[in-house]
Amino acid sequence: MLAVTVVAQPPAAGILRARGLAVREVALPCARARGGAEATALLDAADAILAESSPDVLLCGLSSPSEGGIDEALLARRRVPAFVVQDFWGEMNDFFGRGPDALFVLDEVAVELSRRRHGTAAIMTGSPRHGEYQEIDAIAARRSIHQRHGISATARVIGLFGQHLHAKPGYRRTLEGWAGALRGLPGDTRIAYRPHPRELPQERAWMREWFRSIGVPVVVLEQCSTEEALAACHAACTVFSNCAYDAAYLNYFSAGPLVTPVMLLFDEEMVSFYSSIANFSELPYFSRNLVLSVREASALAPALLDATLGDAGSRVWRAARDALPDPVGAVERMIAVLVAAAQGEVPSSTAHC
């Protein structure tokens, strides 16, 4: 019998609760310095959680790079086996000085990057959260959202999927460049904005005012899931959000081209920021053509036309169908490893499930 205790900070706590899970919410901010008061509070909270729940095994997520959250605090304080769900190739966060015993990873690329960068066991299970995409009726979701917002059946929808990057001048410049590229699009093009869960209320308000100031009518997609918001769009634009991977998996399960993920990587500051996290050439986004990557501002307007009216949608759809691993069964594969670890089995350094 499995007894599961779910622990999370906002905004993850609210998302999990909305999915019907009982969540022990840790109402503390992430730490940005290992020796500060925020770090001490998180470590104290982890000690209390571990003492109360007395787990046999831990399954953790990943906080943002350069931050430590309750996941990293639990990893540091544990006395039991621990695993991390890696949702981005090669990523690991040992903010408090201790990583997991093994990572659950997406594919062979993630196995190799994890081994090379961290020397940590990497168990290829596939993406657990994308297995349920086989149940999504994306066309019905698109039709429902379009009807709700008065979008005609013939309109092409370009979505901007926000990120919590407003403090970076390069993000604002990217927005301005993106807005400039909208001016040459056909008149029946509609624009949508989906806030990131971590975008603050004042940042969301700024975005609404920004759209008003540049004279672009916008549909704000807040009262729906990320998957529904993606399905509503013919092109989903972001700087470098994981929603592009969600879009790729919607294409994977779609009978035909659905949505073209477009990555806005033409600002030097944003490219430098993300290059410090990942080597673009190694990522399936680019090596397997899962997204339409825009590396020059002058290429953005043609790319948006290609994404909405050209054959880019067909290209990324075929790439998703050909290149992505089947995620169905990923959860069951992870559970089998967790149960074995709780019983004392040690994972292989490069195990594949």
Residues recorded for the chain: 353
- In whole angstroms, what is the distance from residue 240 CA to residue 262 CA? 9
Which tokens sit at 37? Answer: 């008061």
The number of distinct structural domains making up the chain is 2
Does residue 348 sit within a domain?
no
pLDDT of residue 301: 96
Percent of the chain with pLDDT over 70: 97
Categorise residue 86: left if φ over 0, alpha if ψ from -120 to 50, beta otherwise. Answer: beta
pLDDT of residue 347: 64
Which tokens sit at 86? Answer: 């890696």
285 and 142 in a common domain: yes
Does residue 89 sit within a domain?
yes
> pLDDT averaged over the chain?
94
pLDDT tens digits, one per residue of 286-304: 999 999 999 999 999 999 9
334 and 212 in a common domain: no
Segment 133-143 mean pLDDT: 97
149 and 119 in a common domain: no
230 and 174 in a common domain: yes
154 and 226 in a common domain: yes
296 and 192 in a common domain: yes
Whether the Cβ atoms of residue 148 and residue 115 lie closer than 8 Å to each other:
no
163 and 283 in a common domain: yes
Does residue 152 sit within a domain?
yes
User: Per-residue pLDDT for 167 more than 80?
Assistant: yes
**pLDDT level of residue 340 (50, 70, 90 thresholds):** very high
Does residue 351 sit within a domain?
no
- In whole angstroms, what is the distance from residue 239 CA to residue 267 CA? 9
**pLDDT level of residue 352 (50, 70, 90 thresholds):** low
Segment 50-57 mean pLDDT: 96
Q: How far is CA 297 from CA 58, 175, 266, 294, in A?
A: 44, 11, 6, 7
Domain encompassing residue 200: 136-323
Which tokens sit at 316? Answer: 């990324």
pLDDT of residue 64: 84
pLDDT tens digits, one per residue of 68-84: 999 999 999 999 999 99
CATH code of residue 116: 3.40.50
Does residue 185 sit within a domain?
yes
**pLDDT level of residue 2 (50, 70, 90 thresholds):** confident
